[in-house]
């Protein structure tokens, strides 16, 4: 009888331990992953190699960032000027202690504008230690392949391209004039990258780059923001081109569907004593979502600057106002809209956050932490 009771107690205790272990594992599975240890830098310079316009050298003074504007024409040749086009390309130089890192983020629509402006702004392609692609739109990767082809001998081997995920390689199309008609908007060919000895690293999760930058990984969509109208995406793989996302392809049923930019990511830095610098490039997932994702994955609540394309040119006034209200809650020291942000956003920011907003055009150089 005593042995029976002891055995029963043992079994009950084992069951309780197993249940507790299962509960702990379930709780652990439901917990978000802890923030990654992000590097800290002392200084960051962002050179706007290509954007949609060039403006006068007048700038808005800011106590937080030094602003310099390149002249419209090349030194010694007034016939050669900065080129503007729809798209974005940035040169990033960070410094931590005695270590400097040079990265290129996005590559404009055409290589002609990219290489022309690199020469005028005095950027040395051979210094680039890694490339980053924010998302799979042609106006951000159009100059990439020809730029590497022209400069391969100067660039490191192997050269690494950090892309947000498989979605970056999907074929994009624009809606045509009639229902069901689409116009091509390009696809990044990974075979060309391989031929150029470019190592592709997909970053669906937060990733540290060159010891000084980090990416957000896939951006959670948990604010009021939505992906505003842009391209359609084809999830099928055709003739070796395209992306391999079976679940999305099955849902699309072989047809182009509105683009949600599943693997868009932002590039970020942690500036010593000042906080995060978040570079959204285009921000289709929402500039508020993008910034909050950077805060979440880094565990850092203070945002020093939000920079890049905010993709708000299609937004109506109510949406713009709500965006600025939410940005106000984050309370960055500096806001620098570029590219697809739109004039409506600049008006709203000047009305509601005038002390934080700093204008930008092609040829601008921003230095943080100087």
Could you tell me if residue 186 is inside a domain?
Answer: yes
Express each pLDDT in 229-267 by its tens digit: 999 999 988 888 999 999 999 999 989 999 999 999 999
The pLDDT of residue 220 is 97
User: Which whole number is the average pLDDT over 180-200?
Assistant: 93
Residue 202 half-sphere exposure, CB side, CA atoms within 13 Å? 12
Parallel, antiparallel or unpaired: strands 334-338 and 303-309:
parallel
Q: Which two tokens stand for residue 157?
A: 């081997």
Which residues lie below 8 Å from residue 27, measured CB to CB, with a gap of 6+? none
Write down the pLDDT at residue 181.
80
State how far the Cα of 38 lies from the Cα of 60, in Å rounded to an integer.
31
Residue 28 lies in a domain: no
Does 1 fall in a domain? no
Q: Report the pLDDT value the prediction gives residue 15, as an integer from 0 to 100.
A: 41
Cα 337 to Cα 172, 260, 293, 308: the distances in Å are 25, 21, 18, 5
Question: Of how many residues is the chain composed?
Answer: 370
Mean pLDDT of 79-104: 97
Report the range of poorest mean pLDDT among 30-39, 151-160, 265-274, 325-334.
30-39
Q: What is the pLDDT of residue 43?
A: 98
| pLDDT of res. 59 | 65
Give the chain's domain count. Answer: 1
Helix axes 343-352, 317-330, angle to 10 degrees: 50
Q: How confident is the model at residue 20 (pLDDT cuts 50, 70, 90)?
A: very low
Whether 20 is covered by a domain: the verdict is no
Provide mean pLDDT across the span 98-104: 97
Q: Answer yes or no: is 151 within a domain.
A: yes
Structural domain includes residue 237: yes
pLDDT confidence of residue 304: 98
Strand pairing class (334-338; 267-271):
unpaired
Say yes or no to pLDDT of 93 above 60: yes
Per-residue confidence (pLDDT) for residue 175, from 0 to 100: 85
Asked if 341 contacts 309 with a C-beta cutoff of 8 angstroms, the reply is yes
Mean pLDDT of the chain: 90
Q: Which of 165, 280, 286 is nearest to 221 (CA)?
A: 286
Q: What percent of the chain has pLDDT over 70?
A: 88
Would you say residue 30 lies in a domain? Answer: no
The pLDDT confidence band at residue 49, using thresholds 50, 70 and 90, is very high
Mean pLDDT, to the nearest integer, of 39-56?
A: 95
pLDDT computed for residue 30 by the predictor? 52
Domain CATH number, residue 292: 3.60.15.10
Average pLDDT over residues 12-25: 41
Rounded mean pLDDT of 305-325?
97
Is 335 domain-assigned?
Answer: yes
Predicted confidence at residue 34, as pLDDT, reads 80
Q: Identify the pLDDT of residue 177.
A: 63
Higher pLDDT, 254 or 5: 254
Give the separation between CA 217 and CA 297, rounded to whole angstroms. 8
SS3 268: strand
Range of the domain at 350: 45-368
């Amino acid at each position: 009888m005593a042995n029976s009771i002891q055995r029963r107690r043992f079994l009950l205790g084992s069951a309780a331990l197993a249940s507790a272990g299962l509960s702990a594992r379930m709780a652990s599975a439901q917990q978000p992953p802890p923030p990654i240890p992000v590097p800290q830098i002392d200084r960051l310079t962002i050179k706007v190699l290509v954007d949609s316009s060039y403006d006068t050298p007048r700038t808005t003074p800011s106590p937080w960032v030094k602003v310099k504007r390149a002249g419209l024409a090349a030194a010694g040749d007034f016939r050669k000027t900065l080129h503007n086009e729809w798209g974005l390309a940035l040169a990033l130089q960070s410094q931590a202690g005695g270590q400097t890192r040079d990265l290129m983020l996005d590559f404009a629509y055409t290589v002609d504008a990219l290489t022309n402006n690199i020469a005028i702004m005095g950027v040395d392609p051979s210094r680039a230690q890694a490339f980053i692609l924010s998302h799979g739109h042609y106006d951000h990767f159009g100059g990439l392949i020809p730029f590497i082809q022209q400069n391969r001998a100067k660039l490191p081997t192997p050269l690494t391209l950090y892309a947000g995920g498989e979605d970056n390689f999907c074929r994009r199309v624009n809606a045509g004039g009639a229902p069901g008609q689409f116009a091509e908007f390009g696809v990044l060919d990974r075979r060309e990258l391989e031929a150029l000895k470019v190592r592709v690293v997909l970053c669906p999760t937060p990733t540290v780059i060159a010891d000084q930058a980090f990416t957000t990984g896939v951006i959670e969509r948990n604010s009021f923001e939505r992906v505003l109208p842009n391209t359609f995406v084809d999830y099928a793989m055709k003739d070796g081109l395209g992306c391999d996302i079976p679940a999305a392809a099955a849902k699309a049923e072989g047809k182009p569907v509105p683009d949600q930019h599943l693997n868009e990511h932002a590039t970020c830095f942690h500036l010593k004593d000042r906080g995060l610098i978040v570079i959204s490039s285009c921000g289709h997932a929402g500039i508020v979502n993008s910034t909050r994702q950077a805060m979440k994955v880094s565990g850092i609540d203070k945002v020093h600057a939000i920079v890049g394309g905010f993709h708000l040119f299609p937004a109506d006034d109510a949406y713009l106002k709500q965006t600025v209200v939410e940005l106000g809650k984050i309370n960055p020291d500096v806001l620098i809209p570029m590219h697809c942000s739109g004039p409506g956003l600049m008006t709203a920011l000047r009305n509601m956050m005038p002390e934080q907003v700093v204008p930008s055009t092609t040829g601008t150089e921003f230095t943080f932490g100087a």
